[in-house]
Amino acid sequence: MDITVGEDRVSFCPNDDFDLKRIFECGQCFRWNEEPDGAYTGVALGRAARISKRDGVISISGSEEDFRTIWRSYFDLDRSYSAIRESLCIDDYMRCSTQFGAGIRILRQDRWEALCSFIISQCNNIPRIKGIVERLCGLYGEPMDFEGRVYYSFPPASKLAALTPEDLAPIRAGYRADYIIRAARDVDSGNIDMDELSEMDLEGARRALMKMRGVGKKVADCVILFGLRIPTAFPMDTWMKKAVAEHYGKDFDPAIFGEYAGLAQQYMFYYQRENSKGVK
């Protein structure tokens, strides 16, 4: 992949599927926000960044080293999503879903951040999840100046493990505050080793995560897919249950999508949610 290095940014032409809105608004992450000009700014892996697309060229702030050591992996740029997308077109519904969601890529997020964020996500909506996450980062993350604004890193488990749920009252997470603290203590103590879980199979990782207070099957599968990067995970929320019921019935098995069932889930989720907007 050819890249062009500027004074404070790197530009590249993606080899295949890459759509900013679909990547950042398909429900997999909570710290990127669209700017009035269509660019997105956010924080990931301890870096604040701005990313934009114009005439097919992606530009992201930072140095060439940042691009090679952080963003190339974060956006999973060395994987052919168009080829995977084609392999998932097993019926007319999936052809529609994959065409509608073309451009989605599964981000390679920090594992602890994914665990904490999806604990926050349970029984919640995306605007409120994003608000809770930002307040958490503002209170306990490290500040960084970027383009005239102050951003905050995601606080490590070690910092949150020392807190009480009462300390988290300002983030307005409700009953989830207790779950956040318990998860932080599990990770900080080594009781839950996120790197070790990423080496397990889907069922083993799910069993381990579901031993944690506040982690049910849906949250566990989100963490497995977006944090542990096990691509067969297939999270089932309200949107997905509706999609499965309408198109596959009660005997549905995600195994029909093979090793990239998680990406199939993202196409289905995005297609179902976006096409249901405004429908009561």
pLDDT confidence of residue 230: 97
The verdict on 199 and 118 lying in the same domain is yes
pLDDT confidence of residue 246: 95
The answer to whether 90 and 256 have CB atoms below 8 angstroms apart is yes
Tokens 């993350």 correspond to what residue? Answer: 141
One-letter amino acid identity for 274?
A: E
Average pLDDT, stretch 63-76?
96
One-letter amino acid identity for 121?
A: S
Considering the domain boundaries, does residue 50 fall inside one? yes
Average pLDDT, stretch 204-218?
97
Considering the domain boundaries, does residue 126 fall inside one? yes
Q: Please say if the pLDDT value at position 277 is more than 80.
A: no
At 14, which CATH number?
A: 3.30.310.260
The answer to whether 162 and 181 have CB atoms below 8 angstroms apart is no
Considering the domain boundaries, does residue 239 fall inside one? no
Which stretches of 106-237 are assigned E, i.e. beta strand? 143-146, 149-152
The verdict on 63 and 138 lying in the same domain is no
- Domain span at 25: 3-79
Q: What is the mean pLDDT of the chain?
A: 96
The verdict on 72 and 129 lying in the same domain is no
The answer to whether 269 and 27 have CB atoms below 8 angstroms apart is yes
CA dist., res. 176 & res. 215, Å (int)? 10
The verdict on 29 and 129 lying in the same domain is no
Considering the domain boundaries, does residue 116 fall inside one? yes
pLDDT confidence of residue 280: 32
The verdict on 45 and 119 lying in the same domain is no
CA dihedral angle for residue 129, residue 130, residue 133, residue 134, rounded to 10 degrees? -150
Q: What are 13's two structure tokens?
A: 């032409």
Q: Please say if the pLDDT value at position 32 is more than 80.
A: yes
Output the pTM of the full model: 0.94
Domain boundary among 37, 59, 79: 79
| Count of domains observed in the chain | 2
The verdict on 71 and 115 lying in the same domain is no
pLDDT confidence of residue 2: 86
